[in-house]
Structure 1
Amino acid sequence: MFWSLLFAIFATFLRSASAAESVAVYDSETGLTYSQNFALYKADGRGITFRIAISSDVSSYSAYDAVVQVIVPNDVGWAGLAWGGSMTKNPLMVFWRGSNNQPVLSSRWASSHSTPQPYTTATYTVFKTGTKSNSTHWQFTALCSGCTSWSADGGAVRYVQPNGGNRLAFAYSPSKPANPSSPSSSITVHDVHAYWNHDFNTARNSGFEAAVQRLLGR
């Protein structure tokens, strides 16, 4: 009975892991302050670090760009971030380590609980600065355009609010995509998912536009 109960608790954890509260983190390499959350996917403490930076000039109910920095353990096959806090009907950022050890970012959308399909409205530009790897983790930093607003059912426009908390979600799988070199590769069903309230107030940067232009090499 004890082992059955323990297994049930552990299985529940794997299906829906937890994420810590947002904290502000300054990254001297990119020159941006990020709002950071750590999302667990293993009971031994392994997890993915999600960081988001935005401009302090952004107002509510408007589309805006965001910089995303993600730190990923090497055992992750693929993972994803849902900008609207659920698998369906919002922009999804799916990512994995490619066959050349470079990050592959795939913009996706799922209309139902089935394999997410390519979504061209949101685009990701990976920066060389802030993108690296070592023996245990890999990291990417990217600019996302089209992630913070989208059309919902009925034509209403939804926004990620820049002035407070937003529910975000992530998914994790230990399995590599079928074709790791292709952003449109098919992916397996995730093993773990979680939700959290991400604080966008601490993600605001007064020098955001200048930092983005520098990171783009312009």
Structure 2
Amino acid sequence: MLWTLWFGLLAALLSRTVTAQANAIYRDPDTGLVFSSNYVLYRVNQGITYRVAIPANVQTYTSYDAVIQAVIPNDVGWAGIAWAGSMPRNPLTVAWRNSQNQPVLSSRWAGPTTTPSTPFSGPAPSPTAPTWQYTALCKGCTSWTTDTGASRFLSPRGGNRMAFAYSPNRPSSPNSPTSTIPIHDVHGYWQHDFSGAANQDFDAIVERLASGV
């Protein structure tokens, strides 16, 4: 009976927390981009914020660039996002901190293909901050070719099923983006609404961020 009650309470807490912070619109003062933002839990009352920004006026069933931003608590060893909501056969963006506590991004595919993610330079993380974050341009994250040769596209107009995975342990070689990573402790899924992530000046903002201005 006690186990059943605790399980029901835990489920209610998880549901309420995720729903309250699902698909919020976030206007980032540092980059100037508008993001669609989701807060995903890896334990009760502790989660990772994932934000996506895309160009406006993107046509459906076409490839387009995206900017991914993540705000990650310090107790996370590594965290990864699967752009199509599953580990195999879709682009993965995995991140952790190196020995200098700087973000390391690793673009992966559970197979022979990788997808480039280019992080933008930013201020060094504060050693006393409870979280760290990265912001990166991802090319090839919104469309890809499956093992059967079919093309897959993420919708710029509505919800896309996405997934994340988390481990409290850092990779064995944290300074290398090709390091092996420990198996994840938790994974989860959510629907990320891209319709609120559109930016009219996306290309100009990305160019400015890439130049470090």
TM score, norm. by length of structure 2: 0.88
Query: Aligned-pair distance for 1:46?
Result: 0.9
| Aligned residue number for residue 209 of structure 1 | 203
Query: Aligned-pair distance for 1:88?
Result: 1.3
CA distance in 2, matches of 1:186, 1:11: 33
CA distance in 2, matches of 1:159, 1:148: 6
Query: Aligned-pair distance for 1:5?
Result: 4.5
Aligned positions of 1:97-136 closer than 5 A: 97-111=97-111, 119-120=113-114, 122-129=115-122, 132-133=125-126, 134-136=128-130
Which residues of structure 2 form unaligned runs of 5+? none
Let me know the Cα RMSD of the aligned residues.
2.4
Post-superposition, which runs of at least 4 consecutive aligned residues in structure 1 deviate over 4 A? 4-13
Check 1:152–1:144 CA distance in 2 against 1; reply closer, same or farther (3 A cut): same
| Aligned residue number for residue 27 of structure 2 | 26
Check 1:50–1:69 CA distance in 2 against 1; reply closer, same or farther (3 A cut): same
Residues 1:168 and 2:169 are matched in the alignment = no
Which residues of structure 1 form unaligned runs of 5+? 112-117
Query: Aligned-pair distance for 1:64?
Result: 0.8
CA distance in 2, matches of 1:149, 1:59: 12
Query: Aligned-pair distance for 1:119?
Result: 3.8
CA distance in 2, matches of 1:68, 1:163: 17
Residues 1:143 and 2:148 are matched in the alignment = no
CA distance in 2, matches of 1:38, 1:130: 23
CA distance in 2, matches of 1:141, 1:59: 24
Alignment identity in percent? Answer: 52
2:183 aligned counterpart, secondary structure:
coil
1:201 aligned counterpart, secondary structure:
helix
Check 1:189–1:94 CA distance in 2 against 1; reply closer, same or farther (3 A cut): same
Instruction: Report the AA paired with residue 63 of structure 1.
Output: S
| Aligned residue number for residue 180 of structure 1 | 174
Query: Conserved in 2, the CA contact under 8 Å of 1:52 and 1:203?
Result: yes
Instruction: Report the AA paired with residue 196 of structure 2.
Output: T
Check 1:130–1:62 CA distance in 2 against 1; reply closer, same or farther (3 A cut): farther
Q: Work out the number of aligned pairs and report it.
A: 207
CA distance in 2, matches of 1:65, 1:203: 12
Query: Aligned-pair distance for 1:73?
Result: 0.3
Using the TM superposition, name which of 147-156 and 204-213 deviates more: 147-156
Check 1:11–1:19 CA distance in 2 against 1; reply closer, same or farther (3 A cut): closer
TM score, norm. by length of structure 1: 0.87
| Aligned residue number for residue 77 of structure 2 | 77
1:209 aligned counterpart, secondary structure:
helix
